[in-house]
C-alpha cells in the first residue's frame, strides 16, 4: 500500500477517541508522524484524563509508527501555541493540522444557559481558530524565510451547522462558523502554500450516540462507524491535495460529497416602500429552493415557522 503522508507531521485535536482516533491511526498507517491531542474529558467538556491520547500513541507505536501525546487545551491561546510547538520540537516540522476536538451541550434556545452557549462556542470556534492561528503563523514565517511549505488545515464542521438541527443552536452556530472560517482562511493563507478545508462527518460516537435511534443491525453499525471519515482527512492531509482548498466535504459510511454552500438565489430590483414588499417576497420564495434538511437534500425543511 502506498503511503500518502510519508514523513509528514500532523496534529489531530480531540484524537483520543472516536473520529479523532480513527484520523490518527489512518494518518499513521500512511506514514505520518502524529501529535495526538486530547484532554480526555467527558462529552460535555468536563473532567480530564490523559490516558485516551496515550492509548492512541501506544497503538500507533505498536504498528511501527511515531506519535506523541499532548494534553493541552486547544481552546486556550497558550495551549494552542504549545500544541504547535510540540509538533515542531518533537518531529522538527509541521505539515498538517486536523481540528477535530469538540463538545456538546444540547438544549433548545429557550432553555439554553449562557454557560452552555459559551462552552460550546469556546471549544469549537476558538478551539479551531487558536491552533490554526499558530500553525499558519509557523508556515508564514517559513515561507518568508524561503523555506518550503506544504501546509494543510482540516477543520471539522457538521451537517447540524451547514443544514441545521433543532436543539443545537450553540453547536450548529459554531459549526456553521467553522465552515465560514474555512473558506475565509483558505483565501488568506494560500499565499503561504497552505490549504484549508473542512469535513462534515456523520458517524456514531460518544457525542452522537444519544441523538438518534441506535443502529439495529451490523450493517447499520458499519455504515455509522467513524472509520469512514478518516480516508478523506488522510487524503486532505497529503501532498496530493495541494490544489484543493476552501471546500467542505460531507463524509460518512453512506456518502462522500461536497457541500456547495450559500449561493444567491432568485432576485429582483430593490423596493423602497416596505408596504409593497409582501408580494415581492412571496414571488422570491416561490422561486427559491427550500433550505436543505439534515440529509442535505431539498424539500425536507419547512419554509415557514409554525
pLDDT tens figures, 111-164: 999 999 999 999 999 999 999 999 999 999 999 999 999 999 999 999 989 998
The catalytic position among 138, 163, 171, 192 is: 171
Single pTM value for the model:
0.90
Half-sphere exposure of 222 (CA within 13 A, CB side): 3
Quick one: how far is CA 113 from the chain centroid?
24
4 within domain boundaries: no
Kindly report, residue by residue over 229-275, the tens digit of the pLDDT: 999 999 999 999 999 999 999 999 989 999 999 999 999 999 999 99
Say whether both 200 and 275 belong to one domain: no
Q: Are residues 225 and 281 in the same domain?
A: no
Is 171 an annotated catalytic residue?
Answer: yes
Q: Is 235 contained in some domain?
A: yes
Please tell me the predicted confidence (pLDDT) of residue 297. Answer: 82
pLDDT at 306: 36
Q: Tens digits of per-residue pLDDT, 21-57?
A: 999 999 999 999 999 999 875 555 465 566 899 999 9
186 and 160, same domain (yes or no): yes
Domain assignment present for residue 25? The answer is yes
| Structural contact between residues 196 and 179, judged by C-beta atoms closer than 8 angstroms | no
* Torsion over CA: 123, 118, 172, 106 (sign): positive
Q: Are 13 and 98 in contact (CB under 8 A)?
A: yes
Q: Tell me, yes or no, whether 57 lies in a domain.
A: yes
| 293: confidence class by pLDDT, cuts 50, 70, 90 | confident
3-class SS at 238?
Answer: coil
Are residues 282 and 141 located together in one domain of the fold?
no
Is a pLDDT exceeding 80 seen at residue 214?
no
Q: Are residues 171 and 275 in the same domain?
A: no
Whole-number Å distance between alpha carbons of 253 and 104: 22
66 assigned to some structural domain: yes
Domain that holds residue 178: 9-259
Q: Is residue 1 part of a domain?
A: no
User: Which cell goes with 158?
Assistant: 457538521
Kindly state whether residue 103 falls inside one of the protein's structural domains.
yes
Give domain status of residue 282, yes or no. yes
Number of domains in the chain: 2
Amino acid at each position: 500500500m502506498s503511503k500518502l503522508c510519508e514523513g509528514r507531521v500532523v496534529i489531530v485535536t480531540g484524537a483520543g477517541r472516536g473520529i479523532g482516533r480513527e484520523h490518527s491511526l489512518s494518518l499513521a498507517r500512511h506514514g505520518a508522524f502524529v501529535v495526538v491531542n486530547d484532554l480526555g474529558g467527558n462529552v460535555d467538556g468536563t473532567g480530564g484524563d490523559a490516558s485516551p491520547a496515550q492509548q492512541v500513541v501506544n497503538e500507533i507505536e505498536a504498528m511501527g509508527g511515531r506519535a506523541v501525546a499532548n494534553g493541552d487545551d486547544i481552546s486556550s491561546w497558550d495551549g494552542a501555541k504549545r500544541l504547535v510547538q510540540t509538533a515542531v520540537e518533537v518531529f522538527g516540522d509541521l505539515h498538517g493540522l486536523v481540528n477535530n476536538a469538540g463538545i456538546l451541550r444540547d438544549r433548545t434556545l429557550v432553555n439554553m444557559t449562557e454557560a452552555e452557549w459559551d462552552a460550546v462556542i469556546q471549544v469549537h470556534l476558538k478551539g479551531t481558530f487558536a491552533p490554526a492561528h499558530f500553525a499558519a503563523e509557523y508556515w508564514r514565517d517559513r515561507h518568508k524565510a524561503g523555506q518550503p511549505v506544504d501546509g494543510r488545515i482540516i477543520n471539522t464542521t457538521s451537517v447540524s451547522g451547514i443544514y441545521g438541527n433543532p436543539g443545537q443552536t450553540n453547536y450548529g452556530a459554531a459549526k456553521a462558523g467553522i465552515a465560514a472560517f474555512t473558506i475565509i482562511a483558505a483565501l488568506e493563507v494560500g499565499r503561504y502554500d497552505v490549504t484549508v478545508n473542512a469535513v462534515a462527518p456523520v458517524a456514531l460516537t460518544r457525542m452522537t450516540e444519544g441523538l438518534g435511534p441506535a443502529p439495529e443491525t451490523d450493517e447499520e453499525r458499519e455504515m455509522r462507524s467513524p472509520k469512514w471519515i478518516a480516508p478523506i482527512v488522510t487524503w486532505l492531509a497529503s501532498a496530493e491535495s495541494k490544489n484543493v482548498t476552501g471546500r467542505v466535504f460531507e463524509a460518512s459510511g453512506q456518502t462522500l460529497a461536497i457541500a456547495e454552500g450559500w449561493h444567491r438565489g432568485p432576485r429582483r430590483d430593490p423596493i423602497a416602500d416596505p408596504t409593497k414588499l409582501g408580494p415581492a417576497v412571496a414571488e422570491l420564495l416561490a422561486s427559491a429552493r427550500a433550505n436543505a434538511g439534515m440529509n442535505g437534500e431539498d424539500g425536507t425543511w419547512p419554509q415557514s415557522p409554525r
